[in-house]
Homo-oligomer: A and B are copies of this chain.
Amino acid sequence: MISYGSSIDIVSMQEKASTLVEALPYLQKFAGRKVVVKVGGEVLKSEEMVENIARSLILLRSTGIQVVVCHGGGPQISEMSERLGLPPRYVNGNRVTCSQTRDVMVMTMLGTIAPALIGSINKVLPCCVGISGIDSNMISVVQADPELGYVGLVDRVKIEPIEQLLHSGYLPVITPIGIDSEGQLYNINGDTCAASLAKALGAEKLILLSNIEGIYESFPNKESLISEIDLPTLKKLKEQGLFSGGMLPKVNGICDALEGGVSSAHILDGRQPFSLLLEVFTTSGIGTMIFP
């Protein structure tokens, strides 16, 4: 067998070489470090996006990064609640999680969303194991507000189960459910949970993958997409009331994680293939990076 190399494209080769020279130092920098990736509920609705993310997660992990995934599931929970005849209830404009809704949330998160995501990752490489705050009472919560019912604030994260799964070579997927001192289960916001995990694990990076490109200073002006911002500036924008809705827990979680020692936080567009890899292995990165 013999083949000839007539068609080598020198320019393309040099570009590849330069991408490699750019990427390889990050390999060593991040090898053995932990990265917490939150995958949002909206992104999980598209099978194609989930496949892309699954491949990116496995590639990330193959470089020696200790990847921990936390998932959301808002849209799916709303759908199942409706199907089971549980209309949303509100107090002062805030949605209330009654015990029945909480049971539906737990059931949907652990029984539908988590197995689907775990299954997708395991199709690429069978290394993914799912656990939740219930396992070994891993995530302790306190009630956020009695009027809102079973909505929990993370009080303490026991990282041993995650550390041991990582140590045994597994990619852990964490479902954001907490448990209070009485053994009651609580809903936790996925972004908040991911931030608490990143802080507790001493992660290098917290990456929030959702269906937005990053933080816009004046949405929807494309030019105002922020590529880098430091924590004090982000806090100033927050005080100016720039953030609302689902952006608020993201920003709060990022502030919490960075103040807790995480080196950088990132809001990336999960719809863009391989955005995870570009963020981690290129100098310019992608989406919005927040640093301390």
A214 interface residue, CB < 8 Å from B?
A: yes
Interface string of A7-22 (1 = CB under 8 A from B): 0100001011101111
- CA of A284 to CA of B4 in the docked complex: distance in angstroms? 11
Name the B residues within 8 Å of A6 (CB-CB). Answer: 222-223, 225
Interface digits, A150-186 against B, CB 8 Å rule (1 contact, 0 not)?
Answer: 0000000000110011001010000001010001010
Q: Is the CB of A170 within 8 A of B5?
A: no
Contact indicator A24/B106 (Cβ below 8 Å): no
A131 contacts B by Cβ under 8 Å: yes
Is the CB of A99 closer than 8 A to any CB of chain B?
no
* A 72-107 binary contact with B (CB < 8 Å = 1; else 0): 000000000001100000000000000000010011
Tell me whether B185 and A115 are in contact (CB under 8 A). yes
- At the interface, yes or no: A249 with Cβ under 8 Å from chain B? no
User: Residue-by-residue, is A224-241 near B (CB-CB < 8 Å gives 1, otherwise 0)?
Assistant: 111111100100000000
Shortest A118–chain B CB gap in Å is 6
This chain: copies in complex: 6
A: contact size bracket = 35 or more
Q: Is the CB of B161 within 8 A of A170?
A: yes
Residue A110, interface by CB 8 Å: yes
Residue A4 contacts which of B16, B24, B170, B223 (CB distance < 8 angstroms)? B223
Q: How far is the CA of A55 from the CA of B8 in the complex (A)?
A: 23
Residue of B nearest to A224 (CB): B4
A177 to B21 Cα, complex, angstroms: 33
Residue from B62, B112, B284 in contact with A27 in the complex, judged by beta carbons closer than 8 Å: B62
Question: Contact: B19 with A16, CB < 8 Å?
Answer: yes
Give the segment of A187-195, A203-211, A255-263, A273-281 that binds chain B: A273-281
Check A122 for interface membership: any CB of B closer than 8 A.
yes
A148: interface (CB < 8 Å): no
Q: Give CA–CA (A59, B224) in the complex, Å.
A: 37
